[in-house]
Amino acid sequence: MFQVKQQTENQAYEAVIIGLFEGDDRSEAFRTVDDALEGQLQTLIDEGDVSSKKKTISKVHSLGKTNVKRYYFVGLGKQESCTTETMRQSLGKLFKTLKSAKLVHAAVLLDSFVTDKIDTLDVAHLFAETFALGTYELETYKTNKKERKELENITVISQEDSEELQAALTVGYVHGRATNSARTLVNLPPNKLTATDLANYAVQLAEKYDMDYKVLDKEEMEELGMGALLAVNQGSAEPPKMIALLYQGKEEWTDVIGFVGKGITYDTGGYSLKPREGMVGMKSDMGGAAAVLGAMEIIGELKPEQNVVAVIPATDNMVSGTAFKPDDVITSMSGKTIEVLNTDAEGRLALADGIAYAKKLGANYLVDVATLTGGVIVALGNHTTGVMTNNEAFFEKVLEAALETDEPMWQLPIFERDKERVRNSKFADLNNSPGRDGHAIMAGVFLGEFAEDTPWVHLDIAGTATSNGAHDLGPIGGTGVMVRTLATLVEYFGE
């Protein structure tokens, strides 16, 4: 996909890509192209036909003056204010443009994107990652689909050491592809992705990367006392699955990071039935599971020196004569009893057993990922993931990984009075829905009761797991949010 070179002399390309900062008319890349075009590039900039404003893409034909058919200039704004997020978005727009142009081969003058804060290897990672993200297309079931023409290879031209550059490109591309895998899972309709289908996908992933795995069926869950997940499954014709992937990057199974992803493949709300409008789109309620599986794909490809266990409690939440009901009291794997006040607060029940199982498998740190509450969308909107924790030091590591990948998050508080609300039941140890006020916080506090003293971070991706429209880094639908953050967290631990 990516071929690294250190010069462009006498090479013929369909297109050459150049980064352009404001006031960058003295850069080497600019001067080289301007000279080849006999000074016309500067004229085009002066007249506004080529722009250096961020997220602008300008195309210039060489008219036979060079071996390059056309040049694409990526506007990046002022160099001192250019961030990795700006560069990602600008490159995403570029790759959408190149895809529309149906190019097969292009070259990039990578050094033209380098700043004082973003070095060549960082640019290479961003470039390859964004190439995968920006060119992703929805998998649909339309019968009149057009044949796709893909950009088959890109020549990366830079003075940087070619081996290090190739490694950075590879890692970036792996991150982008795995995020796309998660997007595809989220976009699958619920009749195409049951708990069994999700388990089969996880097993294939484990076998591809030589990971250990466990898939518990209903009888095995009953033996382990997983009454919370089983309660959610009661109304379904589809059997539940408790899925676990185990990656061992160290000699001993110690210092294990545990990922727990909510795998509700469809959520009707159960007897606390969602309205019609609220039910459409609930195929994405397994976005946490998708994020965890995407992260495990990256881990399988890059093989960090870190132990990881990924756990996914999987089922749908349906209505039938056997479905669980408000007022039911259930017993979780941990032994804690739960009064069910809302069957639409089912994700936290499934995750409760998932967290307990991850701890049983040796997790010393826990990150749960879930499309958990509408409340987090009310609080933080559709671009910021809500976070809660019982351990600030561990949270700082997760936050550092999120900043690295430009996946914004914001911490919500846990106070003792919040814990008291979750523990306020006349019939059980806990209740699963203390009320609408502080809804997102109540869900996180509930999960914290099962994490107990294990360092734990809760990521509520209800607002960020999907996009309602096309954007610079992808189409409508699943975003694959937190795939790269989770994988980067593991890389930090493995260093």
Would you name the residues annotated as active-site residues?
A: 274, 348
Residues forming a β-bridge with 386: 410, 460
N-to-C CA span, the chain: 28
Q: Shortest CA distance to 319 belongs to which of 353, 350, 279, 354?
A: 279
Residues forming a β-bridge with 71: 16, 60
32, 11 in Cβ contact below 8 A?
Answer: no
The secondary structure element, H or E, covering residue 445 is helix 439-451
Structure tokens, 465: 């797991």
Name, in order, each residue with C-beta under 8 angstroms of 283's C-beta and a sequence gap of 6 or more. 186, 187, 188, 189, 190, 193, 265, 266
CB 71: neighbour CB atoms within 10 A? 23
Give the integer Cα–Cα distance in Å for 232 and 222.
Answer: 13
Q: Measuring CA to CA, how many Å separate 421 from each of 46, 435, 455?
A: 64, 9, 22
CB 115: neighbour CB atoms within 10 A? 19
